[in-house]
Amino acid sequence: VQHLTPPEDADEDTRAGADWLLQLVADLNESVTKMTPSAWEYELSTQIGPMIHNKFDGLDDQTADLLFKFFQNYGKLVSITAQDCARAAAASPPTGVLPIKPDQPLAEWALRHVFHQRPELTYISLAVESTNDIDVALRVAASS
């Protein structure tokens, strides 16, 4: 968050705005391990975005773009953190659930778990983001 620190010659409004943003980021950092990517998207669009817009009405385009990029990258951090938390939970699952292998994609482990827990399932609808997701699903289905 060093780039949110105002320069030495910044005016009082700029300093106050930077302090506010630093506090916002500190508050977000407190809850990042509890957030899911969808919760982050919701929070950004319904809370953070409007709050920043109201706080910094009349923001110049360059600063607005910088803030947008910062919070977009922060969203990536939320995704990575959520995946890390899920992977940690999958590494030490409850009794009867196979643990995730170190190199196994999280989605593959989850799909294998569903097939293991519910062998009577014959159809599963999946949301895929890439052809790799389809390959993983087919590989899991073929081995289950």
pLDDT in tens, 59-70: 778 877 788 888
Residue reference for tokens 């910044």:
10
Q: Where residue 3 falls among pLDDT bands split at 50, 70, 90?
A: low
The 3-class SS string of 25-67 reads HHHHHHHHHHCCHHHHHHHHHHHHHHHHHHHCCCCCHHHHHHH
pLDDT in tens, 69-116: 888 888 888 888 888 888 888 898 888 888 998 888 888 888 888 877
Orientation angle between helical segments 106-117 and 131-143, nearest 10 degrees: 30
pLDDT in tens, 108-139: 888 888 877 887 877 777 777 888 888 888 88
Distance in angstroms (rounded) separating the CA atoms of residues 122 and 11:
65
Joined together, the tokens standing for residue 23 give: 């506090």
Q: Where residue 2 falls among pLDDT bands split at 50, 70, 90?
A: low
The mean pLDDT of the chain is: 82
Distance in angstroms (rounded) separating the CA atoms of residues 49 and 51:
5
Say how many C-beta atoms besides its own lie within 10 A of residue 30's C-beta: 9
CA 142 to chain centre: 30
Distance in angstroms (rounded) separating the CA atoms of residues 125 and 129:
13
pLDDT at 1 over 70: no
